[in-house]
Every structure is written in structure tokens, then in C-alpha cells.
């Protein structure tokens, strides 16, 4: 029996904080599953599970083997895996996505969303990005892509039937009609799209028609969701998907950003996943506010399951939230060489190189502390905060020296240095969000880098302005990822912990 929370019960948005953009969701019985874009990172397409749409646990990655996804070093940052659609049909889970710079559109399936997922089915007849899957009553599968175009697809073979056909493409004059999702709801087929670009002008609009291929009439109240031109704390709202709860209620997941600091506002965590209630009026969805505090869904909330604060790198596969740029060859990343340690062997010489040996996790909180016990006796490496090859900060250790480095566009800087203490050392970065803005030029946060003494004392080496590791400065579609790297030789990592510091 469902239980409606007491009046005033709320949940905190975003429901998937940090770099979790382009959410796609489906429900199977009492279980919800959600997929997000992963861009240049491997493994690709994180898969999450929830029983309440609020608390999500990552159960795996859909593209977790080199045979499914192996991005070449020349695939630029913010290319790679775009905009998956996750659906359940005929007893199987289906995930379709675009690999920009890596073969175009593909489809994988699984009976268990935690995996294993199948080898990819290439889709040479499906052009564009942001592919969607929908099945009509006679079993025909329709694939709709950004633009907005549609083609009939055999999802088992990847063959298309006939040429792509243009559908409704959003509001007149609105740029970038994309992220289409097609649904049969009641007597109508609904086509949900994003438009306006994924920046401050982002929006969600919808149309309906009598059949999956239309013709479609737009909602008279489009866009049904946007925060453009407002001072709402959640901006860039768009790229949405709809799901119905077991009690008949409707919900929307969508991306948004939390910009900090002064003007123009900088978002550093990437585009995050938000949850918003939906009600239907005269056959059209009316979307609620994706507020920081959201009324709870009308069923019991379950305890949240987040990635562990600390990872001791026991032998075996890395936990699914650990990601690396483009590829993660086993000979450069292993937990088997030194018991209880992660061993990293250098490929690229630094975070500037696309094939750097780096393993990290998404920064998910505006303020946080990340620590790692590093043994650099056989090489050079450390703890880094990465946005892309041209925008990163790190604290790096060699057998002789610890130094703080900054790369911002064409500029490289050694911020501070000191002799390396004896033995393995704890490197630490503390991110502190700006609490208030008196000066409109104030950045969103600051990053303090240093070494931790055996008694826990933090020895600060340098503090850097966080605005330069933001999307507004660097461009692109990703958010910060923080973790360990090797720039030369071999670096061993005993443990790493991530502690939110937000109040």
C-alpha cells in the first residue's frame, strides 16, 4: 500500500548531483532505472536503480568493456557517449546512444540492468544524435533522433526501413531541437523534446499526435519547462524524460545546473539530474517547479545509497563510479600488484595528455574534501581535479618534491612546492563553495591543496579560484572529476576518500 508523506515532507534536488546529464528513465514494476551521458569517460553510460525516484544507487555501466567502448586518444573531451535512452520492452532492457567520434549510434540490451550488457548492435542507418526507442502496438520499433527525424528500426539487427522522415521540430525560431522521447499515453502519442540549446536558454517542449509518426500538434503552453531569463537557482533546465509511478502519478527527470558566484555565474559540477512532478490538464503535461526542495513522491522514501566515502582498493574490479578518460587498459590500472593498493602506470606524461593514466569520481557537492594516500617512490603522480586536458588543478608528488600545478587554457603554473615527506603521504584537496556574493566578479568556489601530516594537520600549499574549472570558462558538456593519476613511472594508491562538506 502506498503511503503519502506527512504534509511538508520534502526531498532534496538534484536527485543525482554532479556530472550526471541527459537522464533517461524507465520503470519495471516497483523499480526505476536511469541512464546518463558519460562523454569521453570509460566505462560509459552509468546505470542507476531506485525504488522512489529520489535515492539512486549505481548498479553498473552499460558500456564497461573495451569491446563495447574504446575511445581513441584523438576523441576530444566532451565528445564520446551522448544522450542515452533507456527502455524496457518484451522482457529486456534496451539502451541506445550515440558515440561521437567513435562509430555513431549503437544499441545494447540486457536482462539485468546491472549487466552484463550485450555487444553493441551498430546502427548505420540511424543518423544524428540523441536516439530514442519506442514500440507501437503491433511491435514496430520507432527510432527518433535530434533534428527531429524518425525511422523504423529493427532493434535486433540494426537495420532501418525506409529513409528518415522529418517530424515536428519544436518552437518556431528555437535552436537545437534535440533529446526526443516518444510515448503512447492514453489516446495520444506524445513527442517530448529539448530546445534552445543546453545553456541558459534550455527548455522542454511537447507535441502530440494520433500515431507514432504524427502528425504532431504543439502544446499551446510550450515550453512546458524552462528557467531562461529567471533568477531561479536551477538553470539550463531541459533534456527531460517522463515516467509514471505505480500509483498513476507522473514525474519528469531532466538536467539542470547550479551556477555559483557572481556574474555570469559558473557551474562546476556539470549538468545534474533533477526530479519534477507532472500533472495532466486537458491532455497536456503541466510541469512543476524543479525546486531545490521538492515535495516527496506519494510513496515511502527509502534510505539513500551513495558511493562509499572511502575506497580501500581491495583486489578485483574497480567500483562502477570510478571513471577514466577514453580507455582504461588493465596493464595501467590494477589492484592485483600490491595487496590493498591501486597501482597506476603512466602512459601520458600529465593531465594535459588525452591518454593520461587517471581514475576519478565525479565531484557531487559544492563543498567537499578529497584525500588519498599516495606512494610516489617509483614515479610521479598525485591527486587532480579535472575538467578537461586544458583545465585542471593537481597536487603532485615525486620522491623529492610535492607541488601544486594549475593548467588554465594555454597557461601552465607551478603554484607552490615543498620537499616530499618520508614514506607514503596523504594528499588533500578541499573545495569550498562561495557562501555569498558581495562582488559580482566573485568566483563559485575555491580549491585548497596540501599535504596531511600523520596527526591529521593540513599543511596548505596553495589555494586556487574555482571559476577556471567551470563550463563557462572551459566550454563543453562535462563536470569536474577528482581522482588519482600517474604522470611518470608507477604510483601506488592505498586509499581515497570523498567527504561532502555541504551543510
- Cell reading at 329: 587498459
Say how many C-beta atoms besides its own lie within 10 A of residue 312's C-beta. 15
Q: Identify the residue whose cell numbers are 569521453.
A: 40
Q: What are phi and psi of 468, to 5 degrees?
A: -80, -10
Q: Find, among 156, 35, 27, 141, the residue nearest to 84 by Cα.
A: 35
- Cell reading at 221: 503552453
- Catalytic, out of 22, 130, 389, 394: 22
Number of helical H runs and strand E runs in the chain: 1, 38
CA distance 140 to 152: 7
- Catalytic, out of 64, 132, 149, 178: 178
Say how many C-beta atoms besides its own lie within 10 A of residue 178's C-beta. 25
In sequence order, the 6+-apart residues with CB closer than 8 A to the CB of 116 are 110
Coil, strand, or helix at residue 132?
strand
- Cell reading at 309: 566515502
Q: Identify the residue whose cell numbers are 545509497.
A: 305
Whether the CB-CB separation of 224 and 285 falls below 8 Å is answered with yes
Is 187 one of the catalytic residues? Answer: no
- Cell reading at 353: 595528455
Q: How crowded is the C-beta side of 117, counted as CA atoms within 13 Å?
A: 29
- Cell reading at 293: 526542495
Task: Please report the DSSP string for 156-189 in residue order.
Answer: TT--EEEEEEE----STT----EEEEEEEETTEE
Q: Which residues pair with 41 in a beta bridge?
A: 325
CA atoms 125, 127, 132, 136: torsion sign: negative
Is 178 one of the catalytic residues? Answer: yes
Question: What Cα–Cα distance (Å) separates residue 296 from each residue in 52, 184, 374?
Answer: 9, 26, 42
| CB-neighbour burial class of residue 314 (10 A; exposed 0-12, middle 13-18, buried 19+) | exposed
CA distance 145 to 361: 30
Q: Find, among 388, 387, 415, 389, the residue nearest to 402 by Cα.
A: 415
Q: Find, among 26, 54, 43, the residue nearest to 293 by Cα.
A: 54
Task: Please report the DSSP string for 294-334 in residue order.
Answer: EEPPSS---------SEE---SSSPPTT-BEES---GGGEE
**H or E segment to which residue 42 belongs:** strand 41-42
Q: Find, among 449, 389, 441, 452, the residue nearest to 415 by Cα.
A: 449
Catalytically annotated residues: 22, 178
Amino acid at each position: 500500500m502506498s503511503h503519502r508523506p506527512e504534509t511538508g515532507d520534502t526531498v532534496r534536488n538534484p536527485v543525482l548531483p554532479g556530472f550526471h546529464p541527459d537522464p533517461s528513465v524507465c520503470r519495471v514494476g516497483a523499480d526505476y532505472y536511469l541512464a546518463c551521458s558519460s562523454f569521453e569517460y570509460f566505462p560509459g553510460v552509468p546505470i542507476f536503480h531506485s525504488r522512489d525516484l529520489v535515492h539512486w544507487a549505481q548498479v553498473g555501466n552499460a558500456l564497461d568493456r573495451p569491446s563495447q567502448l574504446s575511445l581513441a586518444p584523438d576523441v576530444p573531451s566532451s565528445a564520446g557517449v551522448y544522450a542515452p535512452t533507456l527502455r524496457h520492452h518484451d522482457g529486456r532492457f534496451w539502451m541506445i546512444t550515440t558515440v561521437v567520434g567513435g562509430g555513431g549510434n549503437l544499441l545494447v540490451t540486457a536482462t539485468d540492468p546491472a549487466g552484463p550488457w550485450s555487444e553493441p548492435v551498430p546502427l548505420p542507418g540511424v543518423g544524428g544524435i540523441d536516439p530514442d526507442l519506442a514500440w507501437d502496438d503491433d511491435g514496430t520499433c520507432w527510432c527518433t533522433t535530434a533534428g527531429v527525424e524518425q525511422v523504423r528500426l529493427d532493434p535486433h539487427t540494426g537495420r532501418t526501413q525506409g529513409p528518415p522522415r522529418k517530424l515536428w521540430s519544436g518552437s518556431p525560431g528555437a535552436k537545437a531541437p534535440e533529446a526526443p522521447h516518444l510515448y503512447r499515453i492514453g489516446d495520444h502519442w506524445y513527442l517530448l523534446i529539448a530546445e534552445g540549446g543546453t545553456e541558459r536558454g534550455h527548455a522542454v517542449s511537447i507535441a502530440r499526435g494520433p500515431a507514432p509518426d504524427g502528425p504532431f500538434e504543439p502544446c499551446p503552453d510550450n515550453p512546458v519547462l524552462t528557467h531562461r531569463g529567471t533568477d531561479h537557482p536551477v538553470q539550463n533546465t531541459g533534456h527531460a524524460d517522463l515516467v509514471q509511478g505505480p500509483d498513476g502519478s507522473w514525474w519528469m527527470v531532466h538536467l539542470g545546473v547550479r551556477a555559483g558566484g557572481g556574474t555570469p555565474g559558473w557551474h562546476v559540477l556539470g549538468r545534474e539530474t533533477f526530479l519534477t512532478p507532472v500533472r495532466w490538464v486537458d491532455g497536456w503535461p503541466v510541469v512543476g517547479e524543479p525546486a531545490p526542495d521538492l515535495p516527496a513522491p506519494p510513496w515511502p522514501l527509502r534510505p539513500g545509497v551513495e558511493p562509499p566515502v572511502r575506497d580501500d582498493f581491495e583486489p578485483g574490479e574497480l567500483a562502477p563510479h570510478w571513471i577514466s578518460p577514453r580507455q582504461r587498459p588493465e596493464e595501467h590500472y590494477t589492484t592485483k600488484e600490491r595487496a590493498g593498493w591501486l597501482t597506476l602506470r603512466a602512459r601520458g606524461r600529465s593531465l594535459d595528455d588525452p591518454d593520461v593514466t587517471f581514475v576519478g569520481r565525479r565531484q557531487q557537492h559544492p563543498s567537499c574534501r578529497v584525500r588519498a594516500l599516495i606512494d610516489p617512490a617509483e614515479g610521479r603522480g598525485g591527486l587532480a581535479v579535472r575538467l578537461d586536458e586544458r583545465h585542471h588543478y593537481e597536487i603532485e608528488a615525486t620522491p623529492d618534491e610535492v607541488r601544486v600545478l594549475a593548467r588554465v587554457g594555454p597557461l601552465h603554473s607551478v603554484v607552490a612546492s615543498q620537499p616530499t615527506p618520508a614514506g607514503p603521504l596523504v594528499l588533500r584537496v578541499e573545495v569550498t563553495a562561495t557562501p555569498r556574493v558581495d562582488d559580482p566578479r566573485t568566483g563559485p568556489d575555491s580549491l585548497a591543496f596540501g599535504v596531511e601530516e600523520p596527526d591529521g594537520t593540513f599543511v596548505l600549499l596553495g589555494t586556487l579560484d574555482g571559476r577556471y574549472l567551470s563550463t563557462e570558462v572551459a566550454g563543453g558538456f562535462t563536470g569536474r572529476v577528482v581522482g588519482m593519476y600517474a604522470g611518470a613511472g608507477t604510483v601506488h594508491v592505498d586509499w581515497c576518500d570523498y567527504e561532502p562538506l555541504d551543510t
